[in-house]
Amino acid sequence: MKYTKPKTLSRRQLISRAGALGGILLTGCDSNIYTPPTIRGGLMGVADVLTMASQRFLLSDQALVQEHDINEITKNFPVWNQSNPEDEDYQRLRRGSFAEWRLPVGGLVNQPISLSLEDLKRFPKRTQITSHICEQGWSAIAQWTGAPLIKILEAAGGVKPEARYVVIDAYGGWYEGYDMFDVVHPQTILAYGMNGKDLPQGNGAPVRLRVERHCGYKQLKFIKSIQVVSSMDGFGRGTGGLNSDFDFHWYAGA
Amino acid sequence: MQRHSEQIVSDNSKLKNSMEWIQRHSYNARICHWVTVISFGYLFWSGLMIFLQFPELYWGKVGFQGHPAVFRLSDWGLSWDQADALGDRRWGRNYHYLFAWVFAFNGIAYLGWNVWQKKFYKKMFPQREEFQLSHIKTDIQNHLQFKAPAGETAKSYNFLQKMSYLIVLFVLFPFMFITGFAQMPAFTAILPELIDIFGGRQTARTLHVVCTLLLVLFLIVHIMEVFIAGARNQIRSMITGKYAISTETNE
């Protein structure tokens, strides 16, 4: 049994990363990393904050998640939930092998951009073999290759000072918000490769998110667009994502 | 033998001569007991609601439908779809986490109240003479014959009782938390070693369920014993703290 010892990102590296974005990505010293966008009422909200704050405190060194050995990769990685969104645009893109797919990166960035799949593959790539952990109870191991989300925001000129969340929309109607604490994590990538091949249809082609410290339902598939915002108000019920709109935990570190 | 003499509250003047009242449970033990009852109830039920929507257990690092399982509910007569319809993990997950916090704070309060108190060790931990084989043998015999303790022996917990309480408090309860943490994605970064101890999160999940069954087994025996020893007296003592001892049947 062998796995790569997780490396810890030093504070200096973090600060230099943040510096590249004009010092505006808040990483570990900001109180808003401890609470979800909307705190639910009553005891449920108290429990949410206790869970998120205690785990974020323990995660504040931005340590990498455990990476597995190549021979531990699961052979029949499950396809769960949506495997082929019934969306006209998506179907058209799929028939064209996603050559026409464009990823707009907008909102509170200094220089909105739109990336093709080829553009995305030109970013410094990161490959990681990690566990995909579904809140239902199942888990499987796969190798993911993609571009770090932070590099994409850097390419868009960095984010504006009031930026707090990155909202990702997906074909098929899902959307999810992520706070900057997760965005700056080096293993947070837009994955276009799985187990050395292009990302398969059922696993979210052409591009899905890997945000490794969370349950499966935060690993959005079939990515459509990225926007940086200051608040989750106005998106769905305003809870921060479709899962939490349905009353699942927004913070899904568990 | 003068055991727990400081806890004895003689109230014989108002009662029949054959009865003696002792202060059995402290204020804090009674509060923590009933908070445990409520939170364990919620934790068990919410856990079941989560489990029913994925009613298979695996061993090792990975597990999913189609992967070799160590337990499948469908082998026991309830199909995947039937179980799924009975479960509700949206409700289950919310309440599981809420009451895990209640349970944790309750446990911390209980330990905080008690670990510095000498009488806690006297009440909960077996004394030297109780480890003698003959003593344990008598204890087992009494249990097998469903003989309720009376008189002097009823004033304190017996050996098997103490051991089972200690195992629940200091082994099974912490184990539930540890196996719970080992299933959480955040712990792949916080403490991956915790997952490796079990050889994978799926093993931790399976052991979480096994440990639940052990706790349920304890609960069944616990409730049975309450009835054998006299439900009214036992339950009253966990509410008011006062426990009646019949001195006539003193051995």
Residue-by-residue pLDDT tens, chain B, 251 positions: 344 444 444 444 444 457 889 999 999 999 999 999 999 999 999 999 999 999 999 999 999 999 999 999 999 999 999 999 999 999 999 999 999 999 999 999 999 999 999 999 999 999 988 999 999 999 999 999 888 888 888 888 999 999 999 999 999 999 999 999 999 999 999 999 999 999 999 999 999 999 999 999 999 999 999 999 999 999 999 999 999 998 754 44
Among B93, B101, B202, beta carbon nearest to A139: B202
Residue type, B212: T
d(C-alpha A120, C-alpha B153), whole Å: 76
CB contact under 8 A, A66 and B50: no
CATH code for the domain of B237: 1.20.950.20
* Close Cβ partners of A251 (under 8 Å, ≥ 6 residues apart): A36, A48, A51, A52, A55, A214
- Is B159 within the bounds of a domain? yes
- Is A254 within the bounds of a domain? no
Among B66, B98, B188, beta carbon nearest to A47: B98
Angle formed by the axes of helices B201-229 and B159-167, nearest 10°? 150
CB contact under 8 A, A1 and B196: yes
Residue range(s) defining the domain that contains residue B185: 18-246
- Is A253 within the bounds of a domain? no
- Is A46 within the bounds of a domain? yes
CB contact under 8 A, A66 and B62: no
Q: Which tens digit of pLDDT belongs to each residue from A13-70?
A: 444 444 445 444 544 446 689 999 999 999 999 999 999 999 999 999 999 999 999 9
Nearest chain A residue to B98 by CA distance is: A47
Look at residue B12 in the predicted model and tell me its pLDDT.
44
Q: Which tens digit of pLDDT belongs to each residue from A80-122?
A: 888 999 999 999 999 999 999 999 999 999 999 999 999 999 9
Least Cα separation, residue B56 to chain A (angstroms): 9
Look at residue B202 in the predicted model and tell me its pLDDT.
98
Look at residue A167 in the predicted model and tell me its pLDDT.
98
d(C-alpha B94, C-alpha A135), whole Å: 12
- Is B5 within the bounds of a domain? no
d(C-alpha B238, C-alpha B192), whole Å: 41
Residue B105 near chain A (CB below 8 Å): no
Look at residue A4 in the predicted model and tell me its pLDDT.
45
Look at residue B7 in the predicted model and tell me its pLDDT.
44
Look at residue A32 in the predicted model and tell me its pLDDT.
81
- Is B32 within the bounds of a domain? yes
- Burial zone of A170 (CB within 10 Å; 0-12 exposed, 13-18 middle, 19+ buried): buried
Distances (CA, A) of A253 to A58, A157, A216, B164, B187: 11, 30, 10, 34, 8
Examine the pLDDT at A209 and tell me if it is beyond 90. yes
Residue B185 with chain A: CB contacts under 8 Å:
65, 131, 133, 212-215, 252-254
CATH code for the domain of A115: 3.90.420.10
B165 closest CA partner among B249, B108, B221, B116: B221
Among A78, A253, A254, beta carbon nearest to B64: A78
Token representation of residue B4? 């727990």
Look at residue A138 in the predicted model and tell me its pLDDT.
97
* Close Cβ partners of A111 (under 8 Å, ≥ 6 residues apart): A156, A157
Least Cα separation, residue B99 to chain A (angstroms): 8
Q: Count of domains in chain B?
A: 1
- Is B217 within the bounds of a domain? yes
Q: Residue range A189-214: average pLDDT?
A: 97
Nearest chain B residue to A66 by CA distance is: B188
Residue range(s) defining the domain that contains residue A16: 3-245
Look at residue A17 in the predicted model and tell me its pLDDT.
46
CB contact under 8 A, A247 and B185: no
Planar angle of CA B128, B173, B112, nearest 5 degrees = 70
Examine the pLDDT at A3 and tell me if it is beyond 70. no
CB contact under 8 A, B186 and A139: no
Among A47, A76, A246, beta carbon nearest to B97: A47
Q: Count of domains in chain A?
A: 1
- Is B69 within the bounds of a domain? yes
Q: Residue range A146-166: average pLDDT?
A: 97
- Is B8 within the bounds of a domain? no
For residue A233, the Cα-to-chain-centroid distance in whole angstroms is 19
- Is A123 within the bounds of a domain? yes
- Is B2 within the bounds of a domain? no
The helix or strand, by DSSP H or E, that contains position B222, with its residue range, turns out to be: helix B201-229
Q: Residue range A178-207: average pLDDT?
A: 97
